[in-house]
Amino acid sequence: MAEHGTVFFMYHELALPDGAPCHRELGYTRYVVSASDFRKHMEELAREGWRAMSVTQAMQSFYDKSVAGGNVGNKSVCVTFDDGCETDLLSAAPILQEFGFGATFYITVGFLGRPGYLSETQVRSLGSLGFEIGCHSLTHPYLTDLDDALLRDETAGAKDRLEQITGASVEHFSCPGGRWDRRVVAAVKAAKFRTMATSRTGMNFAATDPFRLTRVAVLSGTSLDVFRRECRGQGLLQTQFKEKVRDAARLVLGNSTYDSLRSLLLGRKESPDPLH
């Protein structure tokens, strides 16, 4: 089964040896991968004869596979970045280009121009280099907490704004903080996105609902061995089990109580809205 699936990796900000991350909270920094580790991950793919693709390329590969009977394109992963940090252009793009890899960058439109985040000009540069620009909402709220009007602003509104900035169609959406439900899916569909990526762990297959795409979060310090296994969809079961427990806790407690408890358990003061 695994050989026909594709892992969609989820990266965030990349860390440079002399640079401070956009946020210092543990809930944020555990998602910050060093630029040198990211390079090692891409080198590993190239060495093994794999390729990295954008979301559009990955969705197309599902179609190609079904047409060709599942014999093409198995050695591939999808690479995505959330939030729209400046390191998308300054660190990730040159490394991806070096290997001729594609990727999708999901942008939080309202963060453009803030320190550590891309400017509007930089998003256009990323697009003109051939990378895919996706949408990660307007202001990065938990979409499940919003009323209908705000939900529309954060999906359709964000898409319109991003398309004005890039001058190109924006077709893919990823959920801030991994929060989504059926209302969120309906809003993302109404905004005419073609896919929605969650933060739920797993592989995607030709039969996967494009509005419930799973991803594999790449965390700070992910070893090459773990990365190698994850490319093949191995070792994901333990994370999937932890997520089921976490999702049940969120459902019972609600987002804000869950976040307070999580901060308490992590033993330090943390932003109520970890930006992943």
Question: Which residue has the CB atom at the shortest distance from Zn ion?
Answer: 82
Which of 96, 92, 78, 77 is closest to 15 using CA atoms? 92
- With beta carbons less than 8 A apart as the criterion, state whether 164 and 200 touch: no
Q: Are 270 and 25 in contact (CB under 8 A)?
A: yes
Residue window 174-213: x/- pattern of binding to Zn ion, with contact defined by CB under 5 A? --x-------------------------------------
Smallest separation, CB 140 to Zn ion (Å): 6
Sign of CA dihedral 89, 91, 96, 97: positive
Q: Which amino acid is at 73?
A: G
Closest separation between CB of residue 177 and Zn ion, Å?
6
Q: How far is the CB of 276 from Zn ion (least distance, A)?
A: 5
Interaction of residue 273 with Zn ion, rule CB under 5 A:
no
Q: How far is the CB of 99 from Zn ion (least distance, A)?
A: 25
Question: Alpha-carbon distance 65 to 47, whole Å?
Answer: 23
Of the pair 13, 50, the CB lying nearest Zn ion is at: 13
- String of DSSP letters for 151-195: HHIIIIIHHHHHHHHHSS---EEE-GGG---HHHHHHHHHTT-SE
Shortest distance, position 195 Cβ to Zn ion, whole Å: 16
Residue type, 186: A
Kindly tell me which of 83 and 88 has the beta carbon lying closer to Zn ion.
83
Closer by beta carbon to Zn ion, 137 or else 263: 137
Place of tokens 């590993």: 44
> Whose Cβ is closer to Zn ion: residue 127's or residue 176's?
176
Q: Restricting to residues 96-125, name those near Zn ion by CB under 5 A.
A: none
In terms of CB distance, is 110 or 176 closer to Zn ion?
176
Alpha carbon 27 to chain centroid distance? 16
CA distance 162 to 14: 22
Q: Which residues, other chains included, contact 233 with Cβ-Cβ below 8 Å and sequence gap of 6+?
A: 2, 5, 7, 202, 203
Count the site residues for Zn ion by CB under 5 A: 3
Site for Zn ion in 70-99 (CB under 5 A): 82-83
Q: How far is the CB of 116 from Zn ion (least distance, A)?
A: 13
Residues 161-180 that bind Zn ion (CB under 5 A): 176
**Which residue lies nearer to Zn ion by CB, 61 or 195?**
195
* Residues of this chain that bind Zn ion (CB under 5 A): 82-83, 176
